[in-house]
A and B are shown apart, each in its own frame.
Chain A
């Protein structure tokens, strides 16, 4: 039996508890949402969750904490940084097995809560009240290496470049952790104040998930006085003047195409645009898969994805350098077909089945439950996966075609294979 409860602990802190004892694990997560402003600020916030979770006052050494987590049956105390539209989402979480499997008799919810809330509320500091030097050096290096790794993965790199170009000069273009230069400029001293500011200024989305049940009043007490109420939403819309075309060369075997379209969509149209993307290029029944890959054999992957938070639809593919023009033309042909309503009932039905299957499976995974309700903090508060399914199934071919017509081409980025040089940005 599962039960989802949403409780506003304060104007700035919301607790979503998804209790389902059929899960063999549990997860407690605290997501702090703050608007992206500058690269420097993004980098400063981005390092904080990792600093807070790498060691605690009770386990002040990275290895000692690692040993405690191993003793707790491989539990995790983790951090994360992601961009959700114009917001930075900084997360701290603890996860582990359900107490009934802890043969040592541990109350796992209690153990995980202690670790997580210790890291959040009383992070480890040195005698000067600063995050310890060794931890800072480590996490700064690792954040830089994560940034560099984005260059090494060419699918990811092409997507990031397309995203950067789409939102160039805007807060949404700052990225989840700022630029490499912003990270390299980080200093330890201001971080303690940045942590306090984050706890004061962020909107909190707290989750307990799986085989656990929180004491709401105890949580209310823990989060009392934290955060600031914020209305969340997607990246503001502006009409792209022209489609920005950028070609870069690198010595790679396969070229990448990454195209972005902007769209002004109301919150209640989210499912419509997700469906539009599904008809175009997500399941194996989609236009891009059937025509660009299967029919013309131009690529191994050619996918679309709608980002409701960015107000954008992305199309990405890996193609032979000599076939770049053909592949782009083939993709544009499918977009045009969509916009002109050349959509069969079968294409629509398959896309609806695909999307509804994903929605029905939301409650099969604790991470997906968290993702769903985190999304609800941005729009359609209270929408359940079942209601979303009804919205998807109510869409018609005409609705999809009309939605597709509203897609405005904004960026066409090409990472062209065969190039000689490259430089790290």
Chain B
């Protein structure tokens, strides 16, 4: 099994890529110094995958919302005991998260890496669900959902997606609802597990201080080959329009919180070059160095500690968003709309473009300091079918006209404003 060695000519970092005979994609990013190693074992399976059809079946099946997240919780339990306890016994810190398009199991450690890796590969490949254990988890997940219900930053985002998407499952909360999780059974969990937790649909990432050869030895011993299952993810047809342009909810907050953005009708995910181009546009438009942010500050409509902007993109959904606290969200959004229209009309100044590229390049360099950020970047890139070093190159080589082209996503008729107001 020969690895593909990928080296970044700009940073000097290198990464080994393997396609393990089991079907698993493995990405290894060794660092010469440091104590910690971060490991992520993930499946390309998230909360949006709640309607699917396997190649060996004739009909698609719809499963309850929140099942990917429920599965993530339950996988830690096996007949041999709790995976958390096994990790704790070797000093590793384990966790997991379910996103809209992936589920990842993570541990970090400073010692006994290869034992921890064995535990990770073992428990994720050993599902064990019973009526009793599934029922027991319901209370814990219900409390997790309630915790998010009180988080204004989460509520405003959740409402935003619901106002933007008519039918795409990204409009549903990743953890589901108290009602939807009631419908989850051991049988459904096994079914989703055996559909999506196929090594051909998964990736393993290791970043930090380790011996790549020893990692591959553990993989060789622990991975259970499985025939690839072809899965068709079924997404309902999503109109180009938004559901509603404005949505409001009242919560126990001291000042309003808003999320505003534009729906982008997408087919495939953006390439590294397109991703770099959108990020440059957003940096030009809304960073600390931008005239827009200055106007927002001068008018008392935004603050440094909460204002943010990003592209949020996954299978069948994409939106460029801006948000934060503001005493007057509608006035803040009027300024954002005005600047978006100006950029779409007039394009981007070369000096602003070059500055934004430099700033984003600096972010990339800084991200390569830490095993945790490297591992997150690697797994995100893997599931997008992309390469993080290629992104850095694309950013460096980006041309002004490529960035300007992305300004087309600021479509006024496809915008949504979500606001949380004090009750």
Interface residues of A, Cβ cutoff 8 Å to B = 2, 20, 22-25, 62-63, 66-67, 69-75, 96-98, 101, 134, 138, 141-142, 145-146, 148-149, 151-155, 250-254, 283-285, 289-290, 293-294, 297-301, 318-320, 346, 349-350, 353-354, 356-357, 360-361, 363-365, 422, 424
Contact B365 A97 (CB under 8 A): yes
Task: Please indicate the chain B residues that have their CB under 8 angstroms from the CB of A154 in the complex.
Answer: 150-151, 252
Interface-lining segment among B191-199, B285-293, B332-340: B285-293
Contact A254 B149 (CB under 8 A): yes
Would you call B144 an interface residue if the criterion is a C-beta within 8 Å of the partner chain's C-beta atoms? yes
If the complex has contacts A96-B362, A284-B84, A422-B252, are A254 and B150 also in contact, measured as CB distance less than 8 A?
yes
Contact B288 A2 (CB under 8 A): no
Residue of B nearest to A320 (CB): B143
Interface-lining segment among B16-24, B226-234, B299-307: B299-307
If the complex has contacts A74-B362, A146-B305, A154-B150, are A69 and B288 also in contact, measured as CB distance less than 8 A?
yes
Task: Please indicate the chain B residues that have their CB under 8 angstroms from the CB of A67 in the complex.
Answer: 289, 355
Task: Please indicate the chain B residues that have their CB under 8 angstroms from the CB of A20 in the complex.
Answer: 33
Task: Please indicate the chain A residues that have their CB under 8 angstroms from the CB of B290 in the complex.
Answer: 63, 66
If the complex has contacts A284-B87, A297-B137, A300-B140, are A364 and B288 also in contact, measured as CB distance less than 8 A?
no
Residue of A nearest to B135 (CB): A297
Would you give the shortest CB distance from B132 to chain A, in whole angstroms? 12
Residue of B nearest to A283 (CB): B88
Contact B88 A353 (CB under 8 A): yes
Would you call B238 an interface residue if the criterion is a C-beta within 8 Å of the partner chain's C-beta atoms? no
Task: Please indicate the chain A residues that have their CB under 8 angstroms from the CB of B293 in the complex.
Answer: 63, 66
Task: Please indicate the chain B residues that have their CB under 8 angstroms from the CB of A151 in the complex.
Answer: 252-254
> Within the assembled complex, what's the spacing in Å between the Cα atoms of A101 and B364?
11
> Within the assembled complex, what's the spacing in Å between the Cα atoms of A357 and B423?
44
Task: Please indicate the chain B residues that have their CB under 8 angstroms from the CB of A24 in the complex.
Answer: 11, 365-366, 368-369
Would you call B35 an interface residue if the criterion is a C-beta within 8 Å of the partner chain's C-beta atoms? yes
What is the size category of the interface that chain B forms with chain A?
35 or more
> Within the assembled complex, what's the spacing in Å between the Cα atoms of A314 and B290?
42
Contact A251 B423 (CB under 8 A): yes
If the complex has contacts A70-B289, A318-B146, are A251 and B252 also in contact, measured as CB distance less than 8 A?
yes
Task: Please indicate the chain B residues that have their CB under 8 angstroms from the CB of A346 in the complex.
Answer: 89
Q: Which of A141, A284, A300 contacts B300 (CB 8 A)?
A: A141
If the complex has contacts A22-B34, A70-B356, A300-B144, are A152 and B254 also in contact, measured as CB distance less than 8 A?
yes
Contact B289 A63 (CB under 8 A): yes
Task: Please indicate the chain B residues that have their CB under 8 angstroms from the CB of A134 in the complex.
Answer: 298
Contact B355 A149 (CB under 8 A): no
Contact A146 B303 (CB under 8 A): yes
Contact B287 A70 (CB under 8 A): yes
If the complex has contacts A24-B366, A63-B289, A69-B288, are A145 and B255 also in contact, measured as CB distance less than 8 A?
yes
If the complex has contacts A354-B91, A360-B35, are A318 and B143 also in contact, measured as CB distance less than 8 A?
yes
Contact A73 B361 (CB under 8 A): yes
Contact A284 B88 (CB under 8 A): yes
- Sample 28 A-B pairs with CB under 8 A, ordered by A number: A23-B369, A25-B365, A25-B366, A25-B369, A62-B297, A63-B293, A67-B289, A73-B365, A96-B362, A101-B11, A138-B298, A142-B303, A142-B304, A142-B305, A145-B303, A146-B303, A149-B255, A149-B305, A151-B253, A152-B152, A152-B254, A153-B152, A252-B150, A300-B147, A319-B143, A353-B89, A360-B36, A424-B254
Contact A22 B362 (CB under 8 A): no
Contact B34 A364 (CB under 8 A): yes
Would you call B188 an interface residue if the criterion is a C-beta within 8 Å of the partner chain's C-beta atoms? no
Task: Please indicate the chain B residues that have their CB under 8 angstroms from the CB of A72 in the complex.
Answer: 358, 362
Residue of A nearest to B368 (CB): A24
Q: Which of A145, A251, A290, A299 has the most CB of B within 10 A?
A: A145
Q: Which of B143, B289, B291, B370 contacts A300 (CB 8 A)?
A: B143
Contact A357 B371 (CB under 8 A): no
Would you call B363 an interface residue if the criterion is a C-beta within 8 Å of the partner chain's C-beta atoms? yes
Task: Please indicate the chain B residues that have their CB under 8 angstroms from the CB of A74 in the complex.
Answer: 358-363, 366
Task: Please indicate the chain B residues that have their CB under 8 angstroms from the CB of A298 in the complex.
Answer: 139, 143
> Within the assembled complex, what's the spacing in Å between the Cα atoms of A386 and B207?
23
Would you give the shortest CB distance from A371 to chain B, in whole angstroms? 15
Residue of B nearest to A138 (CB): B297
Contact A152 B369 (CB under 8 A): no
Would you call B82 an interface residue if the criterion is a C-beta within 8 Å of the partner chain's C-beta atoms? yes
Interface string of B1-26 (1 = CB under 8 A from A): 00000000001000000000000000
